[in-house]
A and B are shown apart, each in its own frame.
Chain A
């Protein structure tokens, strides 16, 4: 069971990372325009 010594902190760290990633993406406005994001990917401005 010694394996728990590093597996448990790793699991918790991964969970916390995911939570902070989500909160960050929310704060940076990535959920404000869900329909727009789906369409913007289709436009090829960067190719021109």
Chain B
């Protein structure tokens, strides 16, 4: 191609060396690492290549004076691995940074806990042998020396979060954790100074260690899903044709590198890579990804077109714009802000538990202290017993109960091709009792298909499809996919706006609009959503209906969703005539068509007022506010960028089944979460009376804490069960991230 690909937006430079990160496709084994790295290093000018097998990303470094970025990409393509320039999103970078910090805290807490335990075990054994008081005090002081700085460092994630919650006048799980840890440390310090027998330095630091394990695993899972989402975005990134501002030359650039004010050219059959205003040209565009409307819309200079629409007829020149006043995008963004604000009021299960738990625990501790004081114990002993209650109830199991299940469930979903966007999504997905589907691109496959292909004679279809190869018209390109060979006919003539013709087997064959093929323009009344093409050859004429088709398993999935107790509703931006047949096939009685983004929100609000929890499944730009407003939401991976960022979960592939699987798995995970909370409560019911009675020793506290944590973690593992093995690896996800199963 004559146009050069401009990659400068992705290349970072430092002192003559250039650096770029690429998302690589098709990496699956140890051999791939060697082939890619070895192959690149043989190219003169490339000074470094390192493939990260975990997230399938390649870091390349080269001397700028020797070669340029495009050549690196070509070299990779020659080796056999298509790669896509990649710029990590802000969210992913934050996630990586946070995970590293948690790992550091975890390391500090872990090593501190080990060393303190070493001293504690000596003290415990010393109690039944011959350890003197001086030695015991010495060991306690040593423990304090390790525990105080370690807790100050490793406790930060909890202290910060607790402070934030208190400032917002709320309670979360980190408040009782922080109070427990701080009181345990303070009491131990006082006791040590008084030469007492018991100190709880080991309990405090071990608690931090366990909790950090849970936090870190949760973050690691989230980081993995973010990395996959990032790679998928890079793989799908589109190339735009930018007209250079000075020279007017056409340059190919990744769509992400476009800036407001750039002029771009969109050929017929291409997707519009960015929002913009038409400067010149006239065409018809398909805005189904934007509004759900499947009928093409005419555009002329001065009109807005949106990223993700398909240009059908003629070339268009656009000026890239940011969201302008009064445009559809602007309206959607306003709705979105409102919806997001409304949703942030959702209280997570863990925080709901904390709101109940924290006051209860703190009251119990206070009552214990007062009770002992009233019974005649000294102030010092009453205080110690009260604090012991706080230490033993410090919600170690409770704080692990929910993250542990989330990690297991997110991992299982990941293997079935569902990527979770937010941590609390599982709870909300499990609570859904009404599933609202968008039609275009969600119930239907986003690509168009020849609807009546099965009714045509195979020979005729093949001939039409081979003829279609020579046309650039989007409808013809759909037909061309039906062809078994990719060899075009010779001597094909394209008549713009009408169709193509060629001589085949001695007689003229025509493919195009019905008039061009000599038949009246019949709009198929039974199938008003279809675009009709005609093909004529040797006197015979056939009509080809091209439209979006339902996902192959849509009927079963909708039926199964209903069987497990969900109401199913269709809300579409498309015309009623196009929605009705879909609703009928799926036996959905409750449907609405021709809805604007605001209408969808109104209907969702009404459902919410009726006490229903809605799971919204949608893909279009127009669905984004509804996705944000719904209780839970999912999008197919083909969805518009804005819809993807709003959805709680993304699913891959052509099947609709992941929606069902996600709901089923989320419900099971939710059940495990509640079981775990119940386990934590039972633990407290056993341990608290012992603490109130004043029989808690540091040894007992340590054993109870580890025991309950291990119990809830094991129970969380049950969330994966048979589910994972039955539905393994049917999706193309492992090409992006997962290694091939051995």
Contact = CB atoms under 8 A, between A and B. Distances in A.
A19 B149 CA distance: 14
A7 to B, nearest CB: 10
Interface in B718-742: 739
Contacts of B118: 11
Contact of A36 (B53, B103, B114, B142): B53
Question: Top 6 closest A-B pairs, CB basis?
Answer: A36-B53, A39-B30, A19-B111, A15-B115, A33-B52, A35-B54
A33 B53 contact: yes
Contact of B107 (A8, A19, A34): A19
A18 to B, nearest CB: 6
B54 A33 contact: yes
A8 B54 contact: no
19 contacts: A1-B132, A1-B135, A4-B135, A11-B118, A15-B146, A16-B111, A19-B108, A22-B107, A23-B104, A26-B100, A26-B103, A32-B52, A33-B53, A33-B54, A33-B55, A34-B54, A35-B53, A36-B53, A40-B30
A14 B563 CA distance: 61
A6 interface: no
A37 to B, nearest CB: 8
A33 to B, nearest CB: 4
B31 interface: yes
B48 interface: no
Residue picked from A18, A19, A32, most chain B C-beta under 10 Å:
A19
Interface string B30-59: 110110001000000000000111110000
A3 to B, nearest CB: 11
B29 interface: yes
A48 B18 CA distance: 30
Contacts of B33: 36, 39-40, 43
Nearest to A25: B107
Contacts of A8: 142
Contacts of A32: 52, 54
A19 B108 CA distance: 7
Interface residues of A, number: 23
Interface of B: 29-31, 33-34, 38, 51-55, 100, 103-104, 107-108, 111, 114-115, 118, 132, 135, 138, 142, 146, 739
Interface of A: 1, 4, 8, 11-12, 15-16, 18-19, 22-23, 26, 31-36, 39-40, 42-43, 45
Nearest to A11: B118
Contacts of A22: 107, 111
B53 A43 contact: no
Given A26-B104, A33-B53, A36-B51, A43 B111 contact: no
Contacts of A11: 115, 118
Given A33-B52, A39-B29, 14 more contacts: A11-B118, A12-B115, A12-B142, A15-B114, A22-B107, A22-B111, A23-B104, A32-B54, A33-B53, A36-B52, A36-B54, A39-B30, A43-B31, A43-B34
Nearest to B134: A1
Nearest to A41: B30
B106 to A, nearest CB: 10
Given A32-B54, A39-B53, A18 B30 contact: no
Nearest to B118: A11
Given A8-B142, A32-B52, A45 B115 contact: no
A18 B113 CA distance: 13
A44 to B, nearest CB: 9
Nearest to B99: A31
Given A35-B739, A39-B30, A40-B30, A26 B107 contact: yes
A19 B138 CA distance: 23
Contacts of A18: 111
Nearest to A36: B53
Contacts of B114: 15
Contact of B34 (A4, A12, A16, A45): A45
Nearest to A43: B34
A34 B34 CA distance: 16
Residue picked from A4, A36, A40, most chain B C-beta under 10 Å:
A36
Contacts of A42: 30
Contacts of B30: 39-40, 42-43
B107 A23 contact: yes
Contacts of B115: 11-12, 15
A9 to B, nearest CB: 10
Contacts of A1: 132, 135
Nearest to A17: B111
B392 to A, nearest CB: 27
A41 B104 CA distance: 27
B51 to A, nearest CB: 7
Contacts of B55: 33
Contacts of A15: 111, 114-115, 146
A33 B33 CA distance: 12
Contacts of A36: 33, 51-54
Nearest to B737: A35
Contacts of B108: 19
A19 B111 CA distance: 6
A19 B363 CA distance: 39
A1 B33 CA distance: 57
Contacts of A34: 54
Nearest to A37: B53
A29 B141 CA distance: 36
Contacts of A23: 104, 107
B165 to A, nearest CB: 29
A7 B337 CA distance: 62
A11 B108 CA distance: 16
A23 B100 CA distance: 10
A1 to B, nearest CB: 6
Nearest to B57: A33
B28 to A, nearest CB: 10
Contacts of B111: 15-16, 18-19, 22
A45 B37 CA distance: 11
A8 B104 CA distance: 25
A40 B38 CA distance: 13
Nearest to A19: B111
A29 B583 CA distance: 53
Contacts of B100: 26
Nearest to B107: A22
A48 B55 CA distance: 28
Nearest to B32: A39
A22 B51 CA distance: 23
Contacts of A26: 100, 103-104, 107
Nearest to B35: A43
